[in-house]
Structure 1
Amino acid sequence: MRRLRHLAERTPAGRERYVDLLRALAIVMVVIGHWTVTVIMRDGAGRPMGHSALGDLRWAYPLTWLAQVMPVFFLVGGFANAASLTRLRDRGGDATAWLLDRSARLVRPTSTLLLVITGASVVARLLGTDPTRVREVFWFATIPLWFLIAYLAVVVLTAPMYALHRRFGLAVPLVLVVLVGLGDLARMTGPQELSYGSYLFGWLAVHQLGFAWYDARGTQPTAETPPPPTAGTAPSAADGTSGPPVHEHPGVRRRRLPTSRRAGLVFLAGGLAAALLLTGPGPWPVAMLHVPGERLDNASPPSLALLAVAAAQLGLILLLRGPAERLLRRSRPWQVVIGINLVVLTVFLWHLAAAILLIGLLDATGTLPTPAVGTGAWWAWRLPWLLLLTVVLTVLVAIFGPVEARSARHRTARRAGRGTTTRTALTVAGYAAVVVALLINSATPERAPEPFGAPAPALLAYLAGAGVLRLLRSGWGTRG
């Protein structure tokens, strides 16, 4: 608590605290959402297994328009990435150093999760556990990594996409939305492979809006233009959301996100109207999260319907900004936000591993309830289920959270300076290897007989990519 109070006191007056709050709320909603819809049952051999309850709770589909918070992640990520990249460049760093800084915050906690779960998988296999069962548990624990595939790709593209934003402004996300629409058409008429680009185009579009929000911060009446942060500034999951002032010049207005109350109402009403048309008379399902058995999925890849919901969420975010900022000027709420952001990725990565541990513990002691979804017993079990999971996750965060907290203080540029072409190529290659590894893991069936949990090629590619990034962060390959 003393550290949180110290960080709160040293927060720059102009910091965009609302961005940090949105990130924290999004993580909490993801965790609670995943835990709440989890259904535990037993297979033919009597072993516990889980699946999503959404397929049996059709009345809850409209609630997914709020529960689907991936757009919020990418919106906040765009703001924070633009801020930290701009700040680092003002200090003499370059995009390569920025990518290496991001890799410290994103890859280190991910490596911890993968190494721990892989080690547990090897031990389980040595104890005679069926490799199919090993893979099934590994697959469930690493479901959160699908988000990192898209986010790491967006991070690698941040510098060139921010340059496009500075040149063409809001025209860039509009073009990306058109590309998502073409992908939707391909999903309807084929070939479906032409829609795969929407995995990137959809999230890039929302990320670009984060750039536009960052450029608009100097015109927002409820927040001061922030000064360059000093040592001890309260960290965030994206390592800083403040930056230097925006200097007005011709064309800057087209780069700014409209942030007035009127703009919020337009985004909210327009987004809801478009989403209703696309999911009512239109072809897309109402649910914005994956529902087992549905022919189409709004999130895989992102559809126009999901982007419409993202626009509505943006409108709601803008409308709530004033009250939220007033709340965050109070020390206690701001300390809570700081505390969550210090370990935000750790919470996200480990929340399903916490469920596995709790299920295993309850099963081993013969106290695991398996009520049918939607019954009174199932609903009654939700509260103690969530409370027990919170306890388990708190223990995991206490153990592994310091890895992320230390990574937040990493600064490659202070030691390495500006990178060479070779260093840039190696950095991108490191990211690519990590992304490919996570893709291989996600594409491998959950019941494949994998004795290490993940396919060996995925593990090798991940270790190679993470290892290269680690060497580069330490200063390997720099000139002078």
Structure 2
Amino acid sequence: MRRLRQLAERTPAGRERYVDLLRALAIVMVVLGHWGITVIGYDRAGRPTGHSALGDLPWAWPLTWVAQVMPVFFLVGGYANAASLTARRSRGGDATGWLIDRSARLVRPTTALLVVLVVGAAVAHLRGADPTEIRTVVWFATIPLWFLVAYLVVVPLTPPMYALHRRFGLVVPLVLVGLVALGDLGRILGPAGLATGNYLFGWLAVHQLGFAWYDARSPTNPPRRRLPTSRRTGAVLLAVGLVVLVLLTVVGPYPVAMLNVPGARLDNAAPPSLALLAVATAQLGLILLLQAPARRWLRRSGPWQAVIAVNSVVLTVFLWHLTAAVLLIGLLDALGVLPTPRVGSAAWWAWRVPWLLALAVVLAALVAVFGPIEARTRRHGDTTARGRRRTALAVAGYAGVVAGLLLNSLTRKAAPEPLGLPTPALLAYLAGAGVLRLLRSGWGSRG
């Protein structure tokens, strides 16, 4: 508590605390959403299994317009990345140094998760566990890495995309929205492969709005680069986003749910669709409407200390929240007390509160152990020399990390993997993470 109080007191006057609050709220809502809609049962072999309850609760689909908060995370990410990149350059640093520094906060907690999962899988394999069962458990625990793949692609694109923003402003996200629309046509009319780019274009569009929000802090910036942040703008964005969303989902061909529904023809989030971007527009409007009271509230020491505490381990919370579910399910099953009520029944609803509380306890224990890996990450000054080789190595490091995580996500759940992760995915990830770690230590700075 004393350290939190000191951090709160040392907060620069110009820091946008509202952005930190939004990041913390977004991740907490993701965690609670995943936990809350999980349905636990047993398969034909008598093993615990889980799936989403959304397929059985169609009345809850409109609630996902609020529960789907990944656009908020990318919006905040755009703001934070623009702010940190600008600050680095103002101190005489370069984009490559910023990129290497940024990798620490993202890659170190991820590496901790993967190493623990692989070690656990290896121990289970040595004790005779079925490689298919090992893979199923690890696959479930690594579901959060789907999102991290997208963000780890967006981060190294920040320097060139921010340069485009400074040149063309809000035209850039408009073009990206057009590309998303083109991809959606491919999904609806064919060929479906045309929508693959939406994984990048959709999240980049929201990330670019974060740049515009950051540039709105300076009235000297050209209007095309600034996001209007008045309450009137917020009301307009909220209304337009909701109207377009209703037209696309109720009248048009898009699903109402913004999260994956088993068996649905389209998934609005994988890849991001126009409907999801309409949700992002409405959410941005709501964010602008609430910014004034939120900023007043965050001037108080207590709320701001809580935001600091969550943000210091926010990625750890996100990465480990499904591992917490795996551990709790395994424990309750081993004790023979795992409840499996029918989804939507009174017993299922009654089980939600103790289920969430028990998961929170398990996750708190995991964060206590692994949170310091993220919380103690320190930014380093730009002490290494500039050079093309260093830039190439940084890009290669990110590419290895992304390739490893992507290959793991694309590998089927029932694949027989003794280590839980596909070996090529594990090697690619560790190679990329190793390169980034060496660069942070100063290796490769010459030449």
Category of TM-score, reference length = shorter chain: over 0.9
Percentage of matched positions with identical amino acids: 74
SS at match of 1:41: strand
1:351 corresponds to which letter in structure 2?
Answer: H
SS of corresponding position for 1:452: coil
Partner of 1:245: none
Aligned to 1:345: 315
Structure 1 residue 410: Cα displacement:
2.6
User: Which residue does 1:465 correspond to in 2?
Assistant: 432
**TM-aligned CA deviation for residue 140 of structure 1:** 0.2
Deviation of 1:281 (Å): 1.3
Paired residue for 1:410?
A: 379
Q: Report the alpha carbon displacement of residue 107 of structure 1 after superposing the two structures with TM.
A: 0.3
Matches within 5 A, 1:285-296: 285-296=255-266
Which residue in the other structure is 2:143 paired with? 143
Aligned residues: 447
Equivalent residues in 2 for 1:293-372, closer than 5 Å: 293-372=263-342
Residue in structure 2 matched with residue 90 of structure 1 by the alignment: 90
The DSSP-based 3-state class of the residue aligned with 2:212 is helix
Structure 2 partner of 1:113: 113
Q: Which runs of 5+ in 1 are unaligned?
A: 220-247
Q: Does 1:454 align with 2:421?
A: yes
- The 1-side partners of 2:129 and 2:50 are apart by 18
Q: Distance between the aligned counterparts of 2:142 and 2:87, measured in 1? A: 33
Deviation at 1:367, TM superposition (A): 1.2
Q: Distance in 1 between matches of 2:23 and 2:178?
A: 27
Q: Which amino acid aligns with 1:437?
A: G
Any conservation in 1 of the 2:404–2:429 contact (CA below 8 Å)? yes
Cα distance in 1 between the residues matched to 2:34 and 2:340? 17
Superposed CA RMSD in Å reads: 0.9
Q: Secondary structure at the match of 1:40?
A: strand
* Partner Cα distance (1:422, 1:14) in 2: 36
Q: How does 1:427-442 map to 2 (within 5 A)?
A: 427-442=394-409
The offset of 1:447, in angstroms, is 0.7
The answer to which of 85-94 and 210-219 deviates more is 210-219
Q: Contact 2:166–2:225 (CA<8 Å) still a contact in 1? A: yes
Report the 3-state secondary structure (helix = DSSP H, G, I; strand = E; otherwise coil) of the residue aligned with 1:301: coil
Using the alignment, how far apart are the partners of 1:296 and 1:477 within structure 2?
Answer: 45
Match of 1:60 in 2: 60
How far the C-alpha of 1:46 sits from its partner, in A, is 1.2
Query: Alpha-carbon deviations, 1:169-188, whole Å to 9, x = none?
Result: 00000000000000000111
Query: How far does the alpha carbon of each residue in 1:19-54 deviate from its partner, in whole angstroms, 9 at most, with x for none?
Result: 000000001100000000011100112111111101
User: Per the alignment, in what secondary structure is the counterpart of residue 318 of structure 1?
Assistant: helix
Q: Distance in 2 between matches of 1:115 and 1:419?
A: 32
Alpha carbons 2:75, 2:207 under 8 Å: kept = yes
Corresponding position of 2:152: 152
Deviation at 1:217, TM superposition (A): 1.6
Q: What is the letter of the counterpart of residue 100 of structure 2?
A: L
Cα-to-partner distance string for 1:50-70 (whole Å, 9 max, x where unaligned):
111010010000000000000
Match of 2:390 in 1: 423
Please list the CA deviations of residues 338-396 of structure 1 after superposition, one character each: whole Å capped at 9, or x if unmatched: 00000000000000000001111111111111111000000000000000000000000
The equivalent residue for 1:40 is 40
- Compute the displacement of 1:92 (Å): 1.1
TM-score for the superposition, normalised by structure 1? 0.92
Do the aligned partners of 2:8 and 2:304 also contact (CA within 8 Å) in 1? Answer: yes
Give the one of 345, 348, 371 matched to 1:378. 348
Counterpart residue identity of residue 353, structure 1: T
CA distance in 1, matches of 2:400, 2:161: 21
Alpha-carbon distance in structure 2 between the residues aligned to 1:441 and 1:477: 29
Q: Matched residues in 2 for 1:50 and 1:102: separation?
A: 35
Aligned amino acid, residue 384 of structure 1 = P
Where does 1:2-401 land on structure 2 (aligned, <5 Å)? 2-219=2-219, 248=220, 252-401=222-371
Partner Cα separation in structure 2 for residue 419 and residue 277 of structure 1: 51
Deviations 1:452-472 (A, max 9, x none): 101100000001000011011
Structure 2 residue identity aligned to 1:284: Y
Q: How far does residue 414 in structure 1 lie from its aligned partner after superposition?
A: 3.5
Superposition deviation, residue 218 in structure 1: 3.1
Structure 2: distance between partners of 1:91 and 1:479: 21
> 1:242 aligns to what?
none
Cα distance between partner residues in 2 of 1:147 and 1:300: 10
Query: 1:415 corresponds to which letter in structure 2?
Result: T
Given candidates 440, 445, 449, the residue that maps to 2:412 is 445
- The separation in 2 between residues aligned to 1:160 and 1:218, in whole angstroms, is 21
Q: What is the rounded CA distance, in whole Å, between the counterparts of 1:296 and 1:311 in structure 2?
A: 20
Per-residue deviation, 1:190:
1.2
Question: Secondary structure of 1:50's partner?
Answer: strand
- Cα distance in 2, alignment partners of residues 367 and 269 from structure 1: 48
TM-score under structure 2 length normalisation: 0.99
Q: Give yes or no for contact 2:132–2:416 (8 Å, CA) kept in 1.
A: yes
For the residue of structure 2 that corresponds to 1:280, the secondary structure is: helix
Q: CA deviation at 1:419?
A: 2.2
Which amino acid is the alignment partner of residue 263 of structure 2?
A: G
CA distance in 1, matches of 2:379, 2:118: 26
Distance 1:263 1:257 in 2: 9
Q: What per-residue deviation string (whole Å, max 9, x for no partner) do you get for residues 104-126 of structure 1? A: 00000000000000110010111
Distance 2:130 2:144 in 1: 24
Q: Is the 2:97–2:382 contact (alpha carbons within 8 Å) kept by the matching residues of 1?
A: no
AA in 2 matched with 1:322: A
Of the candidates 432, 438, 442, which is equivalent to residue 475 of structure 1?
442
- Residues 237, 285 of structure 2: 8 Å contact kept: yes
Q: Secondary structure at the match of 2:39?
A: strand
Q: Secondary structure at the match of 2:383?
A: helix
Please name the residue that 1:224 is paired with.
none
Counterpart code for 1:79 = Y
Please report how far the alpha carbon of residue 479 of structure 1 lies from its aligned counterpart in structure 2 after TM superposition. 2.5
Opposite residue 409 of structure 2, the aligned amino acid is S
Runs of 4+, deviation exceeding 2 Å: none
